[in-house]
Chain A
Amino acid sequence: MGQHGGVATRILTVEDDERIRTSLRLALEDEGWEVEESSNGEAALGIFRRNPPDVVLIDIMLPGVDGFEVCRSLRRISNVPIVMVTAREDTHDIVAGLEAGADDYLTKPFAPKELSARIRALLRRVRTAEGPIKNFIFADLEVFAEEGVVRRGAEEIALTKTELRLLVELASRPGRTLSREVLLERIWGYGYFGDSRLVDVHIRRLRTKIETDPANPRHVVTVRGEGYKLQP
């Protein structure tokens, strides 16, 4: 279950509360993941540089460098899947975490099984509902889906896996509108009532990367009351 490409998947948990950290490690190891612990942001960044994990789990409220900052620092050097953990259902915290680069978030207390499901969804290969996708060209972008590379001319655009999946999902039906619910299910694996802010913030991040004028998007378009669509 926790196997990823034959090797056990490593999760780095960044959590200052020792009891939570230990209990999470036990539970996650039961789920089959290999767990590395860190009690603060600086240590986590050090571990990441020495031996990058497959997934990072970051608590927002950390002493010293807070979770948002750790997330931003990681994003500057990596596209690793990041799950934010918050103890408050505060919109501001959640949106700020997603803006900082988190792929998904969970609110304490969550079931370790739920966390495993989230991690598995993030680690899934880039593919659409119809199956694996080929490389394609969209507007002035060349998308190498398997390699996870997007190029505009000679410039390489670094997309996270979630952003790439969003792009690929929208591109698989150009001109057709996909609702937030469909995107939540296909990309994040939420059956019911996923948080539509996940989609909105990721769409925003995708726009800042691939649109020439992100404030007036020409390609990733909002359809009011329905969802999003991609147009050339």
Chain B
Amino acid sequence: MAARVSLRLRVSVAFGLGALVLAAGLSLITYELTRDNLLTRREDTSLARVLFNATQVSRLIDDETTEEELRELLQNLYTPLGARPVIRFGDLWLSANPVEFSEPQIDPLLKDTVAGGRAAQMRYVVGETPFAVIGIPYFDINAAYYEAAPLDDIAATLSSLLIALLTGSAITVLVGIGIGIWAAQRAVRPLTDIGEAAEAIAAGDLNTRLEGADPDLERLSRSFNQMASALQDRIERDARFASNVSHELRSPLMTLTASLEVLRKRQSDLPVRSQTALHLLSADLEHFKQLVADLLEISRYDVGAAALETEDFEILEFVQQAARASGQSPLLTHSVHAAGLVVRADRRRLAQVMANLLENAHNHGAGATQIHVERLESTLEIAVIDAGPGVPHEDHDIIFDRFARGRRQGPGARAGGTGLGLALVSEHVRLHGGSIRVTDRGDGQPGACFVVALPLDGQ
């Protein structure tokens, strides 16, 4: 399935794009209108002045006018706002400010048009300054009047306006995205509530229901609640069943255990054949008891009835006890930071984790040689190491499956263990939010290393 963009992101992006289009459109219109308005006004005033100046010039020149007189005339024209007059007189071009604006700067197209006897206006950039250039032809004499009005003040105004509009647009887009995020959050809040309720149920709080949902989502919340109720019923029924099974299995086992003990007390009175049978009975009763205990324990996970019962305890002391209880004598080591560390965990379950790992080491690895406790940044690792043949790499993942041992050794092999020990270890550790892995020993020696990693949240 292709990766889907989240609803929240999509709504935010849509709001952002909408704001962008709106802001850009408004800015463009504002800019164009302002620009036209400013230029038209400037051109109107320019044109009036140019006509006035052109008339002045036409009145003062005739075929006899000398270059000197023309120059004087140019200097005396009224040219506010830095307007630059240029006169063509026959082939003679005269400019009031030859450096800033003279004949070569007049666009040939404009020259041609004026030469053709029509007054014309053009806007273009000379150097870096924008100019509005107006040309007026004379009819009775071979001359023309040009005037270039610099538009740089308007350009400056327009560029300020442009910056203001761009900034405004950017803010509008950001506000749009902000509103989008807010709206999306508002829109998905009912879904967030449902998500949280589902998580609470998954975490074991089966009484969680949705209340006061948005009217638009009423059907969803109703069916969600129905589903939650059905799930709760089923889990409770399963848990009751497991509890009844537990009672029904344990009661006969109680009678068997007590009766066998009575027989064992008198085994020397029994014939040899009966003694052998008694031994078989004893051994398999022990095995059966362990199997029932493990099955009942693991069935609590299957019916979702497993809940942590945590308490605070010192981990090194605990590991030491676990080692002593197993009857094995592994070397106990720990990192400096693990000393005196108090953890909050389900002591009974962790004790079972340790007991099962140590029993596994006993059954398959000739007993644990070392238990190492390592405190990492946010996890605690307990490694149980043995000197047996180790676990083949292809079994590293399946070894924690239920009855994985049977699959590996084939049916018929029943040497110790119920086949559920490591599966229970894995379940217990997962219930703590931790993980279990099996690796080779780090030192190159043969043997297995089971590492239990537990989170140390808030400790």
Q: Tell me the interface secondary structure of chain A in the complex.
A: loop
Residues of A within 8 A of B313 (CB): 225
Inter-subunit contact B312/A225 (CB<8 Å) = yes
Inter-subunit contact A23/B317 (CB<8 Å) = no
Inter-subunit contact A20/B312 (CB<8 Å) = no
Inter-subunit contact A109/B259 (CB<8 Å) = no
C-alpha gap A27/B317 in the complex (Å): 36
Residue of B nearest to A192 (CB): B325
Q: Tell me the interface secondary structure of chain B in the complex.
A: helix
Query: A88-B247, A112-B261, A191-B325 in contact; A19/B255 too (CB < 8 A)?
Result: yes
Inter-subunit contact B250/A109 (CB<8 Å) = yes
C-alpha gap A38/B342 in the complex (Å): 46
Residues of B within 8 A of A225 (CB): 312-314, 342
Inter-subunit contact B257/A111 (CB<8 Å) = yes
Residue of A nearest to B355 (CB): A193
Inter-subunit contact B321/A24 (CB<8 Å) = no
Residues of A within 8 A of B246 (CB): 87-89
Residue of B nearest to A193 (CB): B351
CB distance from A194 to the nearest CB of B (A): 10
C-alpha gap A181/B324 in the complex (Å): 14
A108 at the interface (CB under 8 A from B): yes
Q: Count how many pairs of residues, one from A and one from B, have CB atoms less than 8 Å apart in the complex.
A: 84
Inter-subunit contact A192/B253 (CB<8 Å) = no
C-alpha gap A188/B57 in the complex (Å): 126
A195 at the interface (CB under 8 A from B): yes
Interface footprint category on A? 20 to 34
Residue of A nearest to B246 (CB): A88
Q: List 26 A-B contacts (CB under 8 A).
A: A17-B255, A23-B254, A24-B254, A26-B258, A27-B258, A27-B259, A27-B262, A30-B262, A87-B247, A88-B247, A89-B297, A90-B243, A107-B250, A108-B251, A108-B253, A109-B253, A109-B256, A109-B289, A110-B254, A110-B257, A111-B257, A111-B261, A192-B321, A192-B322, A195-B348, A226-B312
Chain A interface residues (CB < 8 Å from chain B)? 17, 19-20, 23-24, 26-27, 30, 61, 87-91, 107-113, 181, 191-193, 195-196, 224-226
Chain B interface residues (CB < 8 Å from chain A)? 243, 246-247, 250-259, 261-262, 265, 289, 296-297, 309, 311-314, 317, 321-322, 324-325, 342, 347-348, 351
